[in-house]
C-alpha cells in the first residue's frame, strides 16, 4: 500500500471492507503468538495453549497450565483437548462473534433463541452497545438481522443438500453439513453431533426439529445466554465482568465437577478455582508497576509520577562520584573511572527509580482494596517530594543541585497533585466498582481513566465485530440479482457462496486513503478513535508528551534568560573602559625579601576604584593568589584571612598619582592589580573614602594573577622612586623582555581596528539567536504535535497490513528485548530538547554567517550560486517536462533522435553542476538530521542504509513500534474480547460456550465468511467410503462400488507400470550422460569446432541424423 510520509499529511492507502478485516485478524494472530520456533504456526495464524496461557498471566495475572487451557478453552471453542491442538482464525472469529450473535438474535426477536418474553418490535440493535449518541454506529435492524440468519442458513443447507429448504435436523444432516465444509474429522464424532442437536433444540420440549432460522438462532446462542450485552456500557474492567472483583470463591467447573458446584479455595489475590489436574490462581503482579498491561486506575497519576521523577532528578542530581578508581590523567585511568561512574549511575538511578515508582504510584490499580497501600503511596509522595527539601543536606545518596527556585516549586506542585490522586484512590476503595460503574458522576470522580477506557474498548470491540459481520454480509448481497439471472432461475435454491468469494476477490484490490495530521487529532480529541478503533496508547507516551510540554515552557524561559545574559556578558564594556583605578605612590611600599631583594611589586594601602558596577567584576581570587595576598596583608594589617575576602579585578590597570621625587606630576605610569582586600573589611585600619561610585581597596600592584612581577609601564614610571627601584632590580633578560612587552602595550591601539573588524556587532549575535530561537520553537511545537498522529497512523498501518505482521520475517524482531520500551519516555523528553537545540544551532549559525562581515561575502556567493543553479534547473525541468509530454509514451520514445540529443546535452550539464547538487544535498541532510534527532516515532534512515554490518544505526523507531505492539497485544479490542470470553469459560465451564455451540458458530462463520476457510486447520482423517456413505445416510450402489473397485485395481496396476518405466528412464539418462561425455571428448579434438555447444554445427564427417541425435539427447 502506498504511504505519504509528509509530516503534516501522513496519509496512507489501506484495504477496505472484508479484506481489511482479514488483515486485522492476521495481525492479532501475530500478536497472540508467542513462539518463533515453529514456522508453520507463524504462517497459518493459529494460537495454541501456550499462547493463551501466557496471555492470561500477562494481561490478567491468571496462572494456568497448558493442559488446563486445552481441557477448558480449546475444548470449548472447538480446538480439541489433545497436545498440539490450537485455535485457527475461523475459531477465533466464532468466539469473537459470541456477543454479536447474542445481539443479532435479540434484534431478530426469536422467542426460543433469546427466551426473553419480549414482544416483537422494530427497535434496532446498535453495534456499539446501544450507545449511538457517542459514536454513531451502524445499526442492525430487525429485518437485517433476520436476513443475515436466513441467508447464512440458506448457504449451509444448499451446500450440504443442494436445496435451501428447511429440513429435519438429524444426525445425517449435520454430518452432511460437516462433509460439505470438509470437516471430515467431525463427521464421525457421534457425541458432538448429538450435542449439537440438543443445543439447537434449546429448551423446547419437542420431538422432530427442522433446521430453520429459529432453530439456527437457538443453536448459535443457547449456550452463551449468560453473556450480558449491557456489559459494554459499564465502566468496569474485563476481569470484573468475567470473574468479579475482590476475593472471590470460585471453582471453575470442569469435566469431573458438577456445573453448579461453586466450592473452591479462597485466594488472597482474587481468584482460585479447581479445574482438571490443578487450580487456577491469580498472581500478585504489582499491578501499579504494570506498564505493559497498564492496569492502573488513573492514567493522570502515572503521568505525574513520570514527570515528577524527571523533575526530582533535575533538582537532586544523583551523586555518582563516590568511588575513585585511580588518580592521574592516563587513558586507562580515565576509562576505569568512567566505567565505574556509569555503573554507579545505573545502580543508584535504578534503585531510586524503583522506590520512586513503586511508592509514588502504589495503590493506583483497579484491583487494590487495601487502604494501607494507598496510605503508603501518600507517604512515598511526602518522602520524595517534600522531605528532601528539608533534609537534603544530610543525605549522602543525593545532593542538592538547585536551591530554592522554580524547579523546587514545580516539584512541590507535582507532589501535591499526586497526593490528591492518592486520596481519590482511598475514596475508591471505600466504594464498590459496581456502584462506581453505574453512576456517571462517581465514574469521573473515582473510577479513574482505566475503567472509562475499558468501556470504550468494549464498545470498540462491539463496533468492529459488528462492522466485520456487515462487511462480510455485504459481499453476499452485492450484484446478487445479476448473479441469479446468470446462474440460476430458481431463487429459492440459490446460494451466495460463490458470489461472496467473487466479490471478495474484487474488493481485495480496492483501497481507500485514510489518515492525515488534522484527521488524527480530530478523531483523537473527539474520542471516536478509541470508541470505534479501540486504539490504546501507552501511558509512557502520554507522559512523554506531558514532559515535552513542560520542557517546552521551561525551555522558553531558560533560553530567554540565557540569551540575554550571554549577549550582555559578551558585549559588556571592558572593565578598563568602565572603571578607573588610581593609587597614591606615597601610600605604597616596595616589598622586600629578608635579604633586601625586592619582590618586584608594591603594596598600596589606598587604591581607589571608581566607575559603574565595578564591584560586580570583582571575583574571589584563585586559591594560590589568595594565599599569597593573604600572607602579605596579614603582615601589615590587623586582619585575619578567615574574615576577609581576597578579590581580583581582572585586567583592570591602576594609574599612579602624586608628585615624585623630581617634583614632576605623575599620572603616566600604569600597573597591573592582582590581589586586593576591600577597605570595608579591614576594621577601619585604613582610611575609607565615602563615595557612591568609588571603592577603596588595599592591593598588590605590579604583579599579575600568575605571580609575574615587574608589571609597570609608561613614560613616567622611572620618575617614581619605588617603581624605579623595582624596575632597576630586574634581571637583564627580564629587563629586555619587559621593555618589549611594554612597547607592545603601547601598540594595542594600532591593532584595534583589525579587532573591531573581525568582532561581530551585538545586533548580529542577538538577531541570529532570535532567528534560531524562532525556528527552535517551531521545531518543538511540531515535535509535540506529531507524536499522536504518528502513533495512530502506525497502529492503523499494522492493523491493516500496510506494515507487515503475520508471515513477515521482520515482524519477529519486534518480539525481542521488549524491555527496550523503557527508553521511550526518556528519549521523548530529552529528545525534544536536543531537537530544539540542534534547530537553534543550525538556523542561528546560518543567520550569523549571513550577517557577519567576515563570512557575509562567502554566504552571498553561495546563495547567488544556489539561486543561479535553481533557476537553470527550473528552466531545464520545464523544457524536459514539455518535451516529455510530446515525445514519450510511458517508457517509450516517439522520436528517438530528439531524446538522444537531449540525453547527451543533459549528461554534459549534470556532470558540470553535480558538485553543487552534492553540496546542497549534504547541507540539507545535515539540517534535516539535526531537526529530527528528537523524533523516535518514525525511521529516519531507509531500510537499505539503516544497518551497518548487522548493527542498526537508529534502533529507537523500532523500539517505539515495540511499545505500540506491546500495547495492542494487551489492549486490542479483539484480544480484550477474547480474554473476556476465555475468563467466562474458566468461570462457568460447561455452562458457557460448549463445544456444540461453538461448532454451530463455526458453521455460521464458514457460511458468512468463506474466504476464511483458507486459514482452517483440520485433522486429515481418512474415512472409508462405505463408512462415510453410511454416516451421511446415503444408499449404497453395489454396481458402482464393484466398478469403482475394478477401476482402483486397474489404476494400481498402471501406477506400478509407471514406476517401472521411471526406473528404466533413470537408467537410460545415466547411460546417455556417460556417452555424451565420451563423445564430447572426441569431438573437441576436431578442428573448427566450438567448445561450447559442440552439437550446434556439424563437421564434414557428421550426418544430419547424428546431429539430431545429439540435440535430442
Closest by CA position to 22, among listed 586, 572, 468, 432 = 468
63-91 confidence digits (pLDDT tens): 998 889 998 999 999 877 788 888 999 99
Q: Is the pLDDT of residue 275 over 50?
A: no
Residue 124 DSSP code: P
Say what the pLDDT of residue 245 is.
58
Say what the pLDDT of residue 949 is.
67
Residue 1080 confidence class, pLDDT cut points 50, 70, 90: low
Average pLDDT over residues 539-553: 91
Say what the pLDDT of residue 757 is.
66
In terms of pLDDT, which residue wins out, 914 or 247?
914
Sequence-distant (6+) residues with CB within 8 A of 568 are none
491-513 confidence digits (pLDDT tens): 455 788 889 999 999 998 898 88
Say what the pLDDT of residue 40 is.
63
Residue 1090 confidence class, pLDDT cut points 50, 70, 90: very low
Q: Is the pLDDT of residue 202 over 90?
A: no
Say what the pLDDT of residue 1038 is.
58
Average pLDDT over residues 437-459: 77
Do residues 981 and 98 touch, judged by C-beta distance below 8 A? yes
3-state SS of the chain: helix, strand, coil percent to 5?
Answer: 60, 10, 30
Closest by CA position to 280, among listed 47, 53, 32, 48 = 53
Say what the pLDDT of residue 817 is.
87
Say what the pLDDT of residue 400 is.
41
Burial of 927 (0-12, 13-18, 19+ CB in 10 A): middle
In terms of pLDDT, which residue wins out, 266 or 798?
798
Say what the pLDDT of residue 139 is.
67
In terms of pLDDT, which residue wins out, 118 or 681?
681
Residue 481 confidence class, pLDDT cut points 50, 70, 90: low
Say what the pLDDT of residue 370 is.
79
Say what the pLDDT of residue 1099 is.
44
Q: Distance between CA 720 and CA 665 in Å, rounded?
A: 10
Q: Distance between CA 806 and CA 43 in Å, rounded?
A: 7
Residue 93 confidence class, pLDDT cut points 50, 70, 90: very high
Cell numbers that stand for 1067 in this block: 537408467
Average pLDDT over residues 649-678: 71
925-960 confidence digits (pLDDT tens): 888 888 888 888 888 877 667 677 667 778 888 999
In terms of pLDDT, which residue wins out, 861 or 366?
861
In terms of pLDDT, which residue wins out, 755 or 631?
631
Residue 182 DSSP code: T
Closest by CA position to 54, among listed 292, 244, 269, 238 = 292
Say what the pLDDT of residue 115 is.
39
Max CA-CA distance within the chain? Answer: 153
CA 10 to chain CA mean position, Å? 17
Q: Is the pLDDT of residue 970 over 90?
A: yes
824-850 confidence digits (pLDDT tens): 999 998 988 888 888 999 999 999 999
716-745 confidence digits (pLDDT tens): 888 888 888 888 888 887 777 666 655 555
User: If you average pLDDT over every residue of the chain, what do you get?
Assistant: 78
Do residues 838 and 772 touch, judged by C-beta distance below 8 A? no
In terms of pLDDT, which residue wins out, 784 or 573?
784
Residue 135 confidence class, pLDDT cut points 50, 70, 90: very low
Say what the pLDDT of residue 134 is.
36
Q: Distance between CA 670 and CA 676 in Å, rounded?
A: 17
Maximum average pLDDT range among 102-111, 274-283, 411-420, 660-669: 411-420
DSSP 969-980: HHH-HHHHHHHH
In terms of pLDDT, which residue wins out, 728 or 22?
22
In three-state secondary structure terms, 435 is helix
Q: Is the pLDDT of residue 971 over 90?
A: yes
Say what the pLDDT of residue 333 is.
85
Q: Distance between CA 217 and CA 108 in Å, rounded?
A: 9
Say what the pLDDT of residue 961 is.
93
Average pLDDT over residues 110-128: 39
Say what the pLDDT of residue 83 is.
81
Residue 439 confidence class, pLDDT cut points 50, 70, 90: low
Name the percent of the chain lying above pLDDT 90.
21
615-657 confidence digits (pLDDT tens): 777 888 887 888 788 777 776 666 666 667 788 887 788 888 7
DSSP 604-654: EEEEEEEETTTGGG-EEPPHHHHHHHHHHHHHHSS--TTTS-EEE-TT-EE
Say what the pLDDT of residue 529 is.
85
Say what the pLDDT of residue 57 is.
93
Q: Which residues of 3-18 are buried (b: 16+ CB within 10 A; e: fewer)?
A: eeeebeebbbbbbbbb
Residue 3 DSSP code: B
Q: What is the pTM of this model?
A: 0.75
Question: Which stretch of DSSP H or E encloses residue 589?
Answer: strand 588-592
Amino acid at each position: 500500500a502506498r504511504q505519504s510520509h509528509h509530516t503534516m499529511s501522513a496519509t496512507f492507502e489501506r484495504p477496505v471492507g472484508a479484506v481489511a478485516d482479514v488483515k486485522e485478524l492476521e495481525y492479532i494472530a501475530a500478536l497472540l503468538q508467542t513462539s518463533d520456533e515453529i514456522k508453520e504456526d507463524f504462517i497459518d495464524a493459529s494460537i495454541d495453549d501456550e499462547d493463551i496461557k501466557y496471555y492470561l498471566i500477562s494481561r490478567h495475572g491468571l496462572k494456568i497450565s497448558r493442559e488446563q487451557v486445552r481441557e477448558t478453552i480449546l475444548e470449548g471453542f472447538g480446538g480439541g483437548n489433545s497436545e498440539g491442538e490450537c485455535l485457527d482464525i475461523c475459531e477465533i472469529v466464532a468466539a469473537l462473534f459470541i456477543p454479536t450473535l447474542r445481539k443479532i438474535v435479540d434484534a431478530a426477536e426469536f422467542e426460543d433463541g433469546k427466551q426473553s418474553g419480549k414482544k416483537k418490535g422494530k427497535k434496532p440493535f446498535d453495534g456499539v452497545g446501544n450507545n449511538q449518541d457517542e459514536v454513531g454506529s451502524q445499526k442492525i435492524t430487525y429485518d437485517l438481522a433476520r436476513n443475515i440468519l436466513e441467508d447464512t442458513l440458506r448457504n449451509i443447507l444448499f451446500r450440504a443438500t443442494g436445496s435451501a429448504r428447511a429440513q429435519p435436523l438429524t444426525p445425517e444432516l449435520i454430518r452432511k453439513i460437516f462433509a460439505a465444509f470438509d470437516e471430515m474429522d467431525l463427521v464421525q464424532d457421534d457425541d458432538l453431533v448429538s450435542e449439537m442437536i440438543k443445543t439447537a433444540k434449546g429448551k423446547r420440549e419437542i420431538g422432530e426439529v427442522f433446521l430453520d432460522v429459529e432453530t439456527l438462532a437457538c443453536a448459535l446462542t443457547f449456550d452463551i445466554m449468560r453473556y450480558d450485552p449491557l456489559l459494554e456500557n459499564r465502566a468496569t474492567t474485563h476481569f470484573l465482568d468475567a470473574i468479579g472483583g475482590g476475593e472471590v470463591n470460585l471453582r471453575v467447573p470442569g469435566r469431573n465437577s458438577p456445573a453448579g458446584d461453586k466450592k473452591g479455595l479462597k485466594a488472597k489475590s482474587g481468584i482460585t478455582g479447581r479445574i482438571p489436574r490443578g487450580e487456577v490462581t491469580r498472581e500478585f503482579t504489582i499491578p501499579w508497576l504494570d506498564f505493559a498491561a497498564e492496569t492502573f486506575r488513573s492514567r493522570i497519576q502515572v503521568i505525574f509520577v513520570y514527570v515528577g521523577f524527571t523533575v526530582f532528578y533535575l533538582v537532586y542530581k544523583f551523586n555518582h562520584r563516590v568511588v575513585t578508581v585511580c588518580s592521574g590523567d592516563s587513558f586507562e585511568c580515565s576509562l576505569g573511572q568512567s566505567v565505574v561512574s556509569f555503573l554507579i549511575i545505573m545502580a543508584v538511578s535504578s534503585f531510586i527509580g524503583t522506590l520512586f515508582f513503586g511508592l509514588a504510584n502504589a495503590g493506583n490499580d483497579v484491583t487494590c482494596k487495601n487502604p494501607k497501600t494507598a496510605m503508603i503511596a501518600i507517604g512515598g509522595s511526602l518522602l520524595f517530594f517534600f522531605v528532601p527539601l528539608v533534609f537534603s543536606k544530610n543525605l549522602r545518596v543525593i545532593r542538592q543541585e538547585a536551591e530554592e527556585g522554580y524547579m523546587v516549586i514545580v516539584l512541590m506542585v507535582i507532589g501535591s497533585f499526586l497526593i490528591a490522586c492518592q486520596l481519590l484512590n482511598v475514596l475508591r476503595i471505600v466504594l464498590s466498582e459496581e456502584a462506581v460503574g453505574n453512576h456517571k458522576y462517581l465514574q469521573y470522580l473515582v473510577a479513574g481513566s482505566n475503567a472509562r477506557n475499558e468501556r470504550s474498548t468494549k464498545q470498540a470491540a462491539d463496533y468492529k465485530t459488528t462492522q466485520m459481520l456487515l462487511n462480510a454480509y455485504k459481499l453476499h448481497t452485492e450484484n446478487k440479482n445479476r448473479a441469479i439471472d446468470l446462474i440460476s432461475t430458481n431463487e429459492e435454491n440459490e446460494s451466495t457462496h460463490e458470489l461472496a468469494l467473487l466479490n471478495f476477490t474484487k474488493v481485495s484490490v480496492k483501497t481507500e486513503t485514510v489518515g492525515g495530521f488534522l484527521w488524527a487529532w480530530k478523531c483523537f480529541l473527539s474520542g471516536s478513535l478509541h470508541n470505534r478503533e479501540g486504539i490504546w496508547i501507552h501511558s509512557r507516551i502520554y507522559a512523554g508528551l506531558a514532559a515535552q510540554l513542560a520542557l517546552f515552557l521551561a525551555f522558553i524561559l531558560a533560553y530567554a534568560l540565557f540569551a540575554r545574559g550571554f549577549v550582555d556578558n559578551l558585549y559588556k564594556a571592558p572593565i578598563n573602559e568602565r572603571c578607573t583605578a588610581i593609587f597614591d605612590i606615597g601610600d605604597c611600599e616596595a616589598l622586600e625579601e629578608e635579604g633586601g631583594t625586592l619582590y618586584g611589586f608594591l603594596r598600596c594601602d589606598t587604591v581607589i576604584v571608581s566607575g559603574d558596577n565595578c564591584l560586580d567584576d570583582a571575583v574571589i581570587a584563585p586559591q594560590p593568589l589568595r594565599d599569597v595576598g593573604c600572607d602579605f596583608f596579614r603582615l601589615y594589617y590587623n586582619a585575619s584571612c578567615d574574615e576577609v575576602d581576597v578579590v581580583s579585578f581582572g585586567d583592570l590597570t591602576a594609574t599612579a598619582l602624586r608628585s615624585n621625587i623630581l617634583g614632576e606630576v605623575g599620572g603616566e605610569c600604569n600597573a597591573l592589580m592582582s590581589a586586593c582586600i576591600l577597605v570595608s573589611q579591614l576594621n577601619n585600619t585604613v582610611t575609607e573614602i565615602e563615595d557612591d561610585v568609588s571603592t577603596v581597596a588595599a592591593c598588590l600592584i605590579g604583579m599579575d594573577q600568575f605571580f609575574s612581577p615587574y608589571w609597570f609601564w609608561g613614560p613616567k614610571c622611572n620618575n617614581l622612586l619605588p617603581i624605579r627601584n623595582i624596575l632597576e632590580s630586574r634581571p637583564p633578560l627580564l629587563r629586555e623582555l619587559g621593555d618589549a612587552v611594554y612597547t607592545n602595550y603601547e601598540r594595542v591601539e594600532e591593532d584595534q581596528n583589525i579587532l573591531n573588524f573581525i568582532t561581530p556587532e551585538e545586533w548580529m549575535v542577538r538577531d541570529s539567536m532570535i532567528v534560531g530561537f524562532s525556528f527552535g520553537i517551531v521545531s518543538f511545537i511540531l515535535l509535540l504535535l506529531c507524536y499522536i498522529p504518528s502513533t495512530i497512523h502506525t497502529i492503523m498501518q499494522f492493523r491493516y497490513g500496510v506494515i507487515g505482521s503475520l508471515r513477515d520475517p521482520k515482524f519477529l524482531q519486534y518480539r525481542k528485548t521488549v524491555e527496550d520500551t523503557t527508553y521511550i519516555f526518556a528519549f521523548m523528553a530529552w529528545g525534544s530538547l536536543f531537537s530544539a537545540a540542534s534547530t537553534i544551532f543550525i538556523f542561528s549559525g546560518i543567520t550569523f554567517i549571513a550577517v557577519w562581515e567576515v563570512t557575509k561575502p562567502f554566504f552571498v556567493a553561495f546563495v547567488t550560486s544556489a539561486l543561479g543553479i535553481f533557476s537553470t534547473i527550473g528552466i531545464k525541468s520545464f523544457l524536459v517536462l514539455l518535451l516529455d509530454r510530446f515525445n514519450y509514451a510511458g517508457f517509450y520514445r516517439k522520436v528517438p533522435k530528439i531524446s538522444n540529443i537531449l540525453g547527451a546535452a543533459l549528461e554534459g550539464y549534470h556532470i558540470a553542476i553535480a558538485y553543487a547538487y552534492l553540496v546542497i544535498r549534504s547541507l540539507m541532510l545535515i539540517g534535516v538530521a539535526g531537526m529530527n534527532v528528537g523524533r523516535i516515532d518514525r525511521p529516519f534512515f531507509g531500510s537499505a542504509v539503516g544497518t551497518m554490518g548487522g548493527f542498526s544505526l537508529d534502533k529507537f523507531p523500532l523500539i517505539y513500534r515495540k511499545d505500540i505492539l506491546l500495547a495492542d497485544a494487551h489492549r486490542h479490542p479483539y484480544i480484550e474480547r477474547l480474554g473476556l470470553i476465555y475468563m467466562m469459560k474458566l468461570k462457568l465451564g460447561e455452562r458457557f460456550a460448549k463445544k456444540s455451540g461453538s461448532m454451530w458458530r463455526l458453521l455460521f462463520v464458514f457460511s458468512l465468511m468463506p474466504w476464511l476457510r483458507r486459514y482452517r486447520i483440520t485433522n486429515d482423517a481418512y474415512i472409508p467410503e462405505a463408512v462415510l456413505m453410511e454416516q451421511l445416510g446415503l444408499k449404497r450402489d453395489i454396481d458402482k462400488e464393484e466398478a469403482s473397485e475394478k477401476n482402483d485395481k486397474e489404476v494400481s496396476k498402471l501406477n506400478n507400470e509407471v514406476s517401472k518405466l521411471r526406473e528404466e528412464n533413470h537408467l537410460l539418462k545415466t547411460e546417455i550422460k556417460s556417452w555424451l561425455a565420451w563423445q564430447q571428448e572426441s569431438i573437441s579434438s576436431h578442428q573448427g569446432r566450438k567448445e561450447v555447444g559442440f552439437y550446434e554445427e556439424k563437421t564434414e564427417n557428421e550426418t544430419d541424423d547424428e546431429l539430431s541425435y545429439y540435440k535430442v539427447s
